[in-house]
Amino acid sequence: MANPKRKLSRASKGHRRAHLALTRAQLVRCTHCSAMIKPHTVCGDCGYYRGRQITLAANPS
């Protein structure tokens, strides 16, 4: 089986992982119930999307 020629240094490993940081999910307010939701998704609380009810409300408010 193919194997690495030499040990990868901690610095090289760190350089490779410099771009692996996670970013926080962007959240917006639902226009109907003002819950925090991901953009371009049906609201999980009230079931609204773009001013219309799409799914049944999980927590009718």
Instruction: Please identify, using beta-carbon distances, which residue of 22 and 43 lies nearer to Zn ion.
Output: 43
- What character string, x for contact with Zn ion (CB under 5 A) and - otherwise, covers 16-55? --------------x-xx-x-------x-xx---------
Q: Alpha-carbon torsion 36, 42, 44, 48, what sign?
A: positive
Number of Cβ within 10 Å of residue 48's Cβ equals: 19
6 — phi, psi (to 5°)? -145, 165
Instruction: Please identify, using beta-carbon distances, which residue of 10 and 46 lies nearer to Zn ion.
Output: 46
By CB under 5 A, name the binding residues for Zn ion.
Answer: 30, 32-33, 35, 43, 45-46
